[in-house]
Amino acid sequence: MLMHKFANPARFLRISKIIAPWCFILTMISLVIGLYWGLFIAPDDYQMGSAYRIIFVHVPASYMSMFCYGFMAFASAVGIIWKHPLADQSARAAAPIGAAFTALALFTGSLWGKPMWGTYWIWDARLTSELVLLFLYFGYMAVWQAVDDQSKAARIAAIVALVGVINVPIIKFSVDWWNTLHQPASIIKSGGASIHPDMLWPLLICILAFNLYFITILLWRIQSLILQRQIRGLRLRIAEGTNNG
Looking at the structure of the chain, the number of domains it has is 1
Instruction: Give the confidence band of 136 by pLDDT, cuts at 50, 70, 90.
Output: very high
- What pLDDT does 216 receive? 98
Instruction: Give the confidence band of 134 by pLDDT, cuts at 50, 70, 90.
Output: very high
Give residue-wise pLDDT tens across range 231-241: 877 777 777 76
- What pLDDT does 1 receive? 46
Domain with 75, as residue range(s), is: 20-44+51-175+196-240
CA distance 235 to 243: 12
Q: Which has more pLDDT, 94 or 176? A: 94
Nearest by Cα to 58 from 120, 109, 95: 109
Give residue-wise pLDDT tens across range 178-187: 666 666 655 6
Residue 169 within a domain: yes
Residue 181 within a domain: no
Residue 245 within a domain: no
Residue 4 within a domain: no
CA distance 80 to 78: 5
**Secondary structure (DSSP) of 113-159:** HHHHHSSS----HHHHHHHHHHHHHHHHHHHHHH-S-HHHHHHHHHH
Outline where the chain has alpha helix (H).
9-36, 55-82, 87-117, 125-146, 150-164, 167-177, 197-244
Q: Cβ(91)–Cβ(76) under 8 Å?
A: yes
C-alpha angle with apex 170: 203 to 123, nearest 5 degrees?
85
Checking if the pLDDT of 2 tops 50, the result is no
Give residue-wise pLDDT tens across range 185-214: 556 554 555 688 889 999 999 999 999 999
Give residue-wise pLDDT tens across range 63-100: 999 999 999 999 999 999 988 879 999 999 999 999 99
Q: Cβ(89)–Cβ(14) under 8 Å?
A: no
- What pLDDT does 4 receive? 56
Give residue-wise pLDDT tens across range 104-131: 999 999 988 887 788 888 888 888 999 9
- What pLDDT does 125 receive? 85
- What pLDDT does 123 receive? 85
Residue 183 within a domain: no
Give residue-wise pLDDT tens across range 8-65: 788 889 999 999 999 999 999 999 999 999 999 999 887 777 888 999 999 999 999 9
Q: Cβ(30)–Cβ(212) under 8 Å?
A: yes
Residue 7 within a domain: no
- Residues in CB range of 36: below 8 A, 6 or more apart: none
Q: How far are the Cα atoms of 2, 46, 178, 198 from residue 225, in angstroms, in the given order?
A: 22, 48, 41, 42
- What pLDDT does 119 receive? 83
Residue 8 within a domain: no
Checking if the pLDDT of 153 tops 70, the result is yes
Q: Cβ(73)–Cβ(161) under 8 Å?
A: yes
